[in-house]
Amino acid sequence: MQKLGAKFFLLTSIFLITLMSDKMFSQENGAVAESAHTNQTAQEEKPFNAVEMIMHHISDANEWHLWTTTDDAGNEHHVSIPLPVILIQNGQLLTFMSSSVAHGHEHEGFTMTEGRIVSTDETATRANLADLFTGLGNKFIDLSITKNVAGILISIILILLIFIGTSRSYKKHNGMPKGIASFTEPIILFIRDEIAIPNIGHKKAAVFLPFLLTIFFFIWINNLLGLVPLFPGGANVTGNIAVTLVLALITLVVVNINGNKSYWGHVFKPPGVPVWLLPIMIPVEFLGLLTKPFALMMRLFANITAGHIMILSLVSLVFMFKSIAIAPASVALALFVSVLELLVAALQAYIFTVLTALFIGMAVHEEHH
Amino acid sequence: MESAGLIYVGIGLAVLGVGLGIGRIGGSAMEAIARQPEAAGKIQGAMLIAAGLIEGAGLIAIIFGAFVK
């Protein structure tokens, strides 16, 4: 049973690599792809654009771009992992791999620019939330497994491997922390004893501990994976505002469905407030319910995004100055910020968990008179 | 163009406030640890939470500054 995890991991890696190499070479040999390449490099040595490079790295994409090589003829070869594209347009479901639209290819009226799926029809844009209510027209809904979704799936596999390994290790060693459990146990105990119990209280902490542990490890592992520049990481999951929005929404729901009488009493009938002030106080208190998760969402997103931008702009200094003399300083600073980001990765996961525990504690707190 | 310049001034002001705030927290934590070295762990935890909250405010200002055109 112990080997099952390792085997599964190995098989997944082999599958991904074969998928990648197969798609990669089939594209590179196409005549259309080559002509697209020559068009791209016609202007020869396009100037380095730091903002474009940084935005490319921190934003989501429909393919997982790995690297770009330039051959002797000056043609660019993009090596990327193709990801499934799932679109709904005019009530029709379209599915294809992103490799079929890469390098300027066209497939079922779609192509890809800068890693994002776009329609060849100019009027058909990506639908947003407002379009769902005002009518879609010929806009398309993008439900693709994008880079960030793939990143989340990879982190889920990683988290499952870690924690199934932990529970197996406890079973094997009769409850003694050995192997991977000796790594996870101190962290779990820290969250229980320093975060959950002081903020929520002894009685109810056990109910919310699984939720707190889940958000802590999900955010922490995704922060760390976002710092890895190579394939399994680098997806910048927690630097995507949609991901942090959903995390904050889960907190909002968990806090408010567990709110007891005194919690809602403080919102709709604040104690000690004169009646004429209530029309002002109730909306303010009600907004307060929403601003807390909003701040959670913004804090995580902004911290992680800012960290990535810092590292990338330090690295791009070398390319901006086109000088090797700047490299030692740039590399040293980038290393320093990267190490700082390792701290921030844990700190932001910790702060998100502490604040969630605090809000839950406020919602379930029993009034003592 | 003029409003773009004002946005940068605004971000600068927000970051100035955040810097002052985190500086005060750090300084006070140092004093508290010097007074009670045995409570260093608890003080550090509280310091990090407060610093994280204030930092969030500054980063929200930066993000708004970057998106409001």
| Closest Cα in chain A, distance from residue B31 (Å) | 22
Q: Is the pLDDT of residue A5 over 60?
A: no
Q: Do A261 and A166 share a structural domain?
A: yes
Residue A369 maps to a domain: no
> pLDDT digits over A195-243, tens only?
999 889 888 899 999 999 999 999 999 999 999 888 777 788 999 989 9
Q: Which residues contact B16 (CB under 8 A, 6 or more apart)?
A: none
Tell me which residue in A194, A295, A354 faces B56 most closely, judged by beta carbons: A295
In three-state secondary structure terms, A114 is coil
CB atoms within 10 A of CB A307: 23
Mutate to test the interface with A, among B49, B62, B64, B67 (most CBs of A within 10 A): B49
| Res B44 pLDDT > 60 | yes
Q: How big is the CA angle at A238 (ends A88 and A163), to the nearest 5 degrees? A: 100
Range of the domain at A249: 149-364
- Note whether residue A287 is domain-resident: yes
- What value of ipTM does the predicted structure carry? 0.72
Those residues whose C-beta lies under 8 Å from the C-beta of residue A147, and which sit 6 or more positions away, are: A60, A61, A62, A63, A64, A83, A115, A235
Name the residue facing A354 among B49, B56, B63 (closest C-beta): B49
H-type helices in chain B, by residue range? Answer: 2-35, 40-67
Calculate what percentage of chain A has a pLDDT beyond 70: 87
Tokens read off for A249? 């929404």
B49 in A contact zone (CB under 8 Å) = yes
- For A251-297, the pLDDT digits (tens) are 999 999 998 888 888 888 888 888 888 888 888 888 888 988 988 89
Residues A18, A64, A337, A247, CA torsion sign? negative
For residue A94, the SS3 value is strand
Q: Tell me what pLDDT residue A21 has.
A: 42
Measured CA to CA, the distance from residue A140 to residue A4 in angstroms comes to 41
> Considering its fold, how many domains does chain A have in total?
2
pLDDT at A208: 94
Same domain, A163 and A207: yes
Within-domain flag for A285: yes
Residues of chain B positioned with their CB less than 8 A from the CB of A298 = 56, 59-60, 63
Whole-number Å distance between alpha carbons of A320 and A50: 8
Whether residue A167 is contained in a domain is answered as yes
pLDDT band for A333, please (50, 70, 90 cuts): very high
Last residue of a domain, one of A95, A115, A145: A145
Question: Which residues of chain B are within 8 Å of residue A295 when distances are taken between CB atoms?
Answer: 56, 60
Token representation of residue A23:
């798609």
Q: Which of A351, A352, A356, A359 to mutate to test the interface with B (most CBs of B within 10 A)?
A: A351
Does residue A167 share a domain with residue A85? no
Give the pLDDT of residue A6: 54
- Contacts of A260-269 with CB under 8 Å at 24 or more apart are A260/A363, A260/A364, A260/A365, A260/A366, A262/A365, A262/A366, A262/A367, A263/A362, A263/A363, A263/A364, A263/A365
Last residue of a domain, one of A145, A169, A190: A145
Residue A34 is predicted with a pLDDT of 40
Q: pTM of this prediction?
A: 0.81
Which one of A298, A305, A354 has the shortest CB-CB distance to B56?
A298
Q: How far apart are CA A63 and CA A248, in angstroms?
A: 27
Distances, alpha carbon A79 to alpha carbons A11, A38, A68, A103, B56, in Å:
21, 17, 6, 11, 37
Average pLDDT score over residue span A1-24: 47
Least confident of A133-137, A351-355, B18-22, B63-67: B63-67
Residues A166 and A132 in one domain: no
**What local confidence, expressed as pLDDT, does residue A68 receive?**
80
pLDDT beyond 90 at A60: no
pLDDT of residue A2: 45
Nearest to residue A146, comparing CAs of A158, A136, A154, A134?
A154
Residue A191 has pLDDT above 70, yes or no: yes
Identify whether the C-beta of residue A79 lies closer than 8 Å to the C-beta of residue A17.
no
- Across chain A, mean pLDDT equals 82
Q: Which residue, of A145, A161, A187, is where some domain finishes?
A: A145
Q: Is residue A57 a contact partner of residue A21, using CB atoms and an 8 Å limit?
A: no
Q: Is the pLDDT of residue B23 over 70?
A: yes
Whether A27 has a pLDDT exceeding 70, the answer reads no
Task: Measure in Å the smallest separation between the Cα of B65 and chain A Cα atoms.
Answer: 12
